[in-house]
Amino acid sequence: MKLTPGVFLLYFLLARQWRAAVVSLLSAIGATAVAAVFAPVETWQYWTSLVWDPNRVGFVGSSDNQSLNGLLHRLADPSAPSGALWLAATVAVLAVAVPRIRSALDAGDLLAAVTLTGLLGALVSPVTWVHHIVWVIPAAVVIATRLVRMLQAAVAAPSASLHDVRRRARRAVVPAVLVVSGIPALGFDVRRAFSLPFTDYADAGPLAALAASLPMLWTLAAVLLLPVSTAAAPAAPGPGRWPAAAVAG
């Protein structure tokens, strides 16, 4: 079982899907209780010790770990980074991500809201393997949709003024930059491309630590800049329900 998807409890709360939030929480508690019945010693060991020790998976600062915590460990190697610094970074990202998720929900942009939540989980998790950033796929759909809509608007108004053309071009910069930067960050093995170490960053310097964190930096940029619809919000669904339009498509 994975703890990282627990970030979607935040999504249910922000979406005011109280029933889904309660069911998720009770399901997690129930699964833990069942595990405690069949494996009491291991369950106790996990929840009292192992869950607080990310080093059990190996060197947290390895280039495979694409979370904020992984970057901090690479920068601090060979010392351990301050837990307070990681907490402060996590709170800062939450302070930006939560309002953006809420705005996407208010606009009825469920795909962007879910994607932002998944990207947020990848950032704040103690350990995020590269393949955990699967949220690049729905993020690509969100970005492509925005670019296509902007192109359609430009084609529909061929006689637009120079001011309008410039305004549309500026609006296209952010999604275009996310696409272009995402290709090197997520399209190939960054560590091998730059001949970076796998675990030992003690003498590699901050630039090497940052280069090894390109997927994480792209994830952070996506949380900050992913296009979110500004359309008027649809009628609020009932507790624990999705809007009919979302269910249909």
* DSSP-derived secondary structure for 60-113: TTSTTB-SHHHHHHHHHTTSPPPHHHHHHHHHHHHHHHHHHHHHHHHTT-HHHH
CB 77 within 8 A of CB 215: no
Averaged over 186-214, what is the pLDDT? 90
How far apart are the C-alpha atoms of 63 and 198, rounded to whole Å?
A: 5
Which DSSP helix (H) or strand (E) runs through 19?
helix 18-38
pTM: 0.85
**106-147, pLDDT tens digit by residue?**
999 999 999 999 999 999 999 999 889 999 999 999 999 988
Q: Would you state the torsion angle of the CA atoms of residues 213, 219, 221, 223, taken in this order, to the nearest 10 degrees?
A: -150
Matching residue, tokens 């992984």:
70
With CA atoms as reference, report the closest residue to 51 among 13, 94, 6. 6
Q: What is the per-residue burial (b if ≥16 Cβ within 10 Å, else e) of 197-224?
A: beeebeebeeebbebbbbbbebbbbbbe
Mean pLDDT value across residues 153-176: 76
The separation between CA 25 and the C-alpha centre of its own chain, rounded to angstroms, equals 21
pLDDT at residue 238 greater than cutoff 80: no
The answer to whether 130 and 73 are in contact (CB under 8 A) is no
pLDDT, tens digit, for every residue of 91-107? 999 999 999 999 999 99
CB 175 within 8 A of CB 146: yes
| Choice between 206 and 4, residue whose per-residue pLDDT is larger | 206
Q: Is the pLDDT of residue 1 over 80?
A: no
CA–CA gap between residue 98 and residue 96 (Å, rounded): 6
Which pLDDT belongs to residue 233? 44
Reply yes or no on whether the pLDDT at 235 is more than 50: no
Of residues 229 and 207, the one with the higher pLDDT is: 207
Distance CA 37, CA 45 (A): 14
- Residues 29-67: tens digit of each pLDDT: 999 999 999 999 998 988 888 887 777 777 899 999 999
Evaluate if residue 247 carries a pLDDT over 50: no
Per-residue burial over 184-195, b = 16 or more CB atoms within 10 Å of its CB, e = otherwise? ebbeeebbeeee
